[in-house]
């Protein structure tokens, strides 16, 4: 082929969720290697992607999503099918989906003969009570022509649960954007969120069962009694799924803390440009999730020189050594609290910071793009329509 490889990269949202961040950074890295990539996502708000991308983007307009998860997923799959059906929105050599919504749309288009096939990256597999949601998710995996995933945990799960083999692409971090060097935004965040001068524990991903926010709140509640100036900052929370029941439990637990609950700060989604400064302001990232694909924010925090508390489960134990982070039992708030307390020890922090920087340096988006290009090349015979 004498021209650059043309790739349609598809993700479910323009908001900064892990899979969306991965898709954008991968698109940019593939572009740096000579591919022509267009990143697609439905955009109900009309605001575009969460940051300006160094690649072509198509944030296509859609109506607001229905509140019901089943209706939302069905609507967004149909939106994607409608968007990609016209000839002017296709003409790519490869189509690459990063979630069940865009993957479900590509599976539909493949069945209809509109495209020849597609690649699916599986960041993690959700558990749905509704069998129709489970079926749509499974179809986006089973009908893909090739699978990629971000960790060995999910490579094994795809083999065991779906009988499919996947290539591990891993994850990366931009060491230019995420670094220990302060830029003055830290002070602005401290003033805006009234963080004071005490220790700041940062949780990223909002209030969700998968993020284990309730147990992290319980851990903080035990710590703030002895450290009254401590803050727990819960950042993010942009999600298409319905977490309302879990969030109601969280609000009740927060109210039960009384005055000490004032130490908990819920920021909601933040501007992408503020995230490096927020990591740097934090005394530790607390990422005691019960299920993750990889945990991209772990690399981002480490690249900023911030100690990290993580669950002693895969995928974290796959890429973090015993001395790289503070490990905890995610099902035990006392264990989470103990790791948070240890992260405040200056001797411990001084030990883990350089190790975290070294971990981050081993994970580049270029390496992820090279693994992805290798898979693309294998799929070029026969070529996609």
pLDDT tens digit sequence for 152-165: 999 999 999 999 99
The predicted-structure confidence for 198-207, as pLDDT tens digits, reads as follows 999 999 999 9
CATH no. of 185-361: 3.40.50.2000
Four-CA torsion 226, 230, 232, 233, nearest 10 degrees? 180
pLDDT at 306: 98
The predicted-structure confidence for 315-347, as pLDDT tens digits, reads as follows 999 999 999 999 999 999 999 999 999 999 999
pLDDT at 1: 56
pLDDT at 241: 72
Residue ranges covered by each domain of the chain: 6-172+364-379, 185-361
Q: Please tell me if the domain spanning 6-172+364-379 has the same topology as the one spanning 185-361.
A: yes
- Taking the C-alpha atoms of residue 77 and residue 62, their distance in angstroms, rounded to an integer, is 11
- Taking the C-alpha atoms of residue 301 and residue 280, their distance in angstroms, rounded to an integer, is 8
pLDDT at 385: 39
382 prior amide bond cis, ω within 30 = yes
Q: Cα angle vertex 203, ends 319, 195, to 5°?
A: 135
- Taking the C-alpha atoms of residue 276 and residue 385, their distance in angstroms, rounded to an integer, is 41
pLDDT at 271: 86
Model's pTM, two decimal places? 0.94
* Below-50 pLDDT ranges, the chain: 383-385
Q: Cα angle vertex 127, ends 220, 111, to 5°?
A: 140
CATH no. of 6-172+364-379: 3.40.50.2000
For the chain, the straight-line distance linking the first and the last C-alpha, in angstroms and rounded, comes to 14
């Amino acid at each position: 082929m004498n021209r650059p490889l043309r790739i349609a990269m598809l993700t479910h949202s323009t908001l900064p969720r892990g899979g969306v961040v991965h898709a954008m950074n991968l698109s940019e890295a593939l572009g740096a290697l000579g591919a022509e990539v267009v990143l697609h996502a439905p955009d109900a708000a009309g605001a575009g992607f969460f940051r300006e991308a160094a690649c072509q983007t198509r944030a296509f307009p859609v109506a607001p999503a229905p509140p019901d998860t089943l209706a939302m997923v069905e609507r967004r799959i149909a939106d994607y099918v409608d968007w990609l059906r016209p000839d002017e929105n296709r003409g790519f050599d490869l189509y690459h989906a990063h979630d069940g919504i865009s993957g479900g749309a590509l599976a539909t288009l493949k069945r209809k003969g509109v495209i020849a096939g597609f690649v699916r990256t599986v960041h993690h597999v959700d558990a749905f009570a509704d069998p129709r949601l489970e079926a749509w998710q499974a179809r986006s995996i089973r009908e893909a022509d090739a699978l990629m995933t971000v960790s060995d945990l999910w490579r094994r799960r795809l083999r065991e649960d779906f009988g499919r083999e996947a290539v591990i692409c891993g994850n990366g971090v931009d060491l230019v954007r995420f670094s220990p060097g302060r830029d003055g935004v830290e002070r602005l965040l401290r003033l805006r969120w009234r963080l004071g001068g005490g220790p700041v524990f940062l949780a990223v991903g909002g209030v969700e069962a998968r993020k284990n926010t309730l147990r992290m709140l319980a851990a903080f509640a035990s710590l703030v009694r002895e450290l009254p100036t401590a803050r727990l900052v819960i950042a993010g929370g942009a999600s298409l799924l319905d977490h309302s029941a879990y969030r109601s439990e969280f609000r009740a637990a927060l109210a039960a803390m009384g005055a000490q609950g004032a130490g908990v700060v819920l920021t909601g989604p933040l501007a992408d440009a503020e995230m490096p400064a927020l990591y740097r302001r934090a005394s530790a990232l607390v990422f005691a999730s019960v299920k993750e694909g990889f945990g991209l924010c772990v690399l981002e925090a480490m690249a900023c020189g911030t100690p990290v508390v993580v669950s002693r489960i895969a995928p974290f134990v796959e890429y973090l050594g015993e001395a790289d982070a503070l490990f905890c039992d995610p099902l035990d708030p006392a264990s989470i609290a103990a790791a948070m307390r240890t992260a405040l020890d200056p001797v411990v922090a001084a030990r883990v910071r350089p190790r975290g920087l070294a971990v981050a340096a081993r994970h580049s988006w270029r390496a992820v793009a090279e693994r992805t290009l290798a898979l693309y090349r294998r799929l070029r015979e026969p070529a996609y329509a």
